[in-house]
């Protein structure tokens, strides 16, 4: 059994794509779909074991992973060195997926400077460093597509203000990079997921699990999304079909940014719902229970 993508077979044949954060969560799913469509992959992240697991899964399914790099993506020297090695060994690169974020809940009044800086570096600085080096060392000469995985920061992010600040910066960085690098044939876009049913939800404190389970009441479509539904948008933005799309944010969130109710409207129970989950190795979070 292999990934069941809605895109045509061989869409990325002959292309090399770099996936930062390919060891788990959304990055793992995206890597699987890209490999199923013919891309040669290079994976990077913080944990060698997780990267090797994704690599071994993809190879077992008949896909190609050229290499894995375990490093601290917030470390400028480490990123520069890694990209130099990867470009020399496997370049040029046709695409980059930046999906190596991480955060934790905290009220601003309780947040330390170290905590603030850690999340800004996780979700903004690391994305900048990887994208900058990809541009400098490969794409400025050959063009390409960069897709950042962000989060919805509009309206603030009470309880995770450090993450909201980082994600707002990421969207602005996306727009700026698209402007500065566009004449070199480099497109830069940002995908903004909603509440997605991945094992990442299980890492939140258990006292938050009831709120995470019930969030679907605020979503017009009445459910959590799947990793494959995020991957499908990423694949489109990396593909030749999106060659006139750059500098934009794309929400894949079931409409939660609009809300499901108002003071004059209460939604009914979800019905006629469709969902897409082509990821044959998907791992749903424990907190949502059996689907």
Residue 101's pLDDT is 86
Answer yes or no: is 117 within a domain.
yes
Domain that holds residue 26: 16-255+281-288
Secondary structure tally for the chain: helices H, strands E: 9, 7
Answer yes or no: is 275 within a domain.
no
Alpha-carbon torsion angle 174, 154, 103, 288, nearest 10? -120
Answer yes or no: is 274 within a domain.
no
Residue 169: give its domain's CATH number: 3.40.50.720
Q: Catalytic annotation on 153?
A: yes
Answer yes or no: is 271 within a domain.
no
Residue 95's pLDDT is 98
Give the pTM: 0.96
Give percent of the chain with pLDDT exceeding 90: 85
Q: Are 197 and 285 in contact (CB under 8 A)?
A: yes
Q: Are 84 and 134 in contact (CB under 8 A)?
A: no
Residue 7, classed as helix, strand or coil, is: coil
Interatomic CA distance for residues 21 and 47, integer angstroms: 9
Q: Choosing from 3, 69, 127, 153, which is the catalytic residue?
A: 153
The 10s digit of each residue's pLDDT in 210-263 is 888 888 899 999 999 999 999 999 999 999 999 999 999 999 999 999 989 998
Which residues of the chain fall below pLDDT 70?
290-291
Answer yes or no: is 159 within a domain.
yes
Interatomic CA distance for residues 225 and 142, integer angstroms: 35
Answer yes or no: is 268 within a domain.
no
Map tokens 């940014």 to a residue.
Answer: 257
Residue 268, classed as helix, strand or coil, is: coil
Answer yes or no: is 103 within a domain.
yes
DSSP secondary structure code for residue 196 in this structure: B
Answer yes or no: is 272 within a domain.
no
Q: How many domains does the chain have?
A: 1
């Amino acid at each position: 059994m292999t990934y069941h993508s809605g895109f045509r077979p061989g869409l990325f044949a002959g292309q090399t794509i770099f996936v930062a954060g390919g060891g788990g969560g959304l990055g793992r799913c995206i890597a699987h779909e890209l490999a199923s469509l013919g891309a040669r992959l290079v994976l990077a992240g913080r944990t060698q074991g997780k990267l090797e697991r994704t690599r071994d899964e993809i190879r077992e399914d008949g896909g190609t992973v050229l290499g894995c790099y375990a490093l601290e993506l917030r470390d400028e020297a480490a990123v520069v060195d890694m990209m130099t090695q990867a470009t020399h060994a496997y370049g040029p690169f046709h695409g980059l997926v930046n999906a190596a974020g991480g955060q934790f809940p905290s009220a601003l009044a309780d947040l330390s400077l170290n905590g603030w800086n850690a999340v800004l570096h996780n979700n903004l600085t690391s994305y900048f460093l990887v994208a900058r080096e990809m541009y400098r060392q490969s794409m400025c000469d050959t063009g390409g597509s960069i897709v950042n995985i962000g989060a919805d920061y509009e309206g603030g992010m009470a309880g995770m203000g450090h993450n909201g600040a980082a994600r707002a910066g990421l969207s602005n960085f996306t727009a700026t990079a698209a402007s500065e690098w566009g004449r070199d044939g480099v497109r830069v876009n940002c995908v903004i997921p909603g509440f997605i049913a991945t094992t990442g939800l299980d890492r939140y404190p258990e006292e938050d699990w009831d709120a995470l389970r019930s969030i679907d009441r605020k979503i017009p479509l009445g459910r959590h999304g799947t990793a494959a539904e995020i991957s499908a948008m990423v694949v489109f933005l990396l593909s030749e079909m999106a060659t006139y799309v750059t500098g934009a944010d794309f929400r894949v969130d079931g409409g939660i940014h609009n809300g499901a109710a108002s003071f004059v409207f209460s939604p009914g129970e979800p019905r006629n719902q469709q969902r897409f989950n082509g990821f044959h190795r998907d791992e749903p979070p424990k907190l949502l229970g059996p689907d």
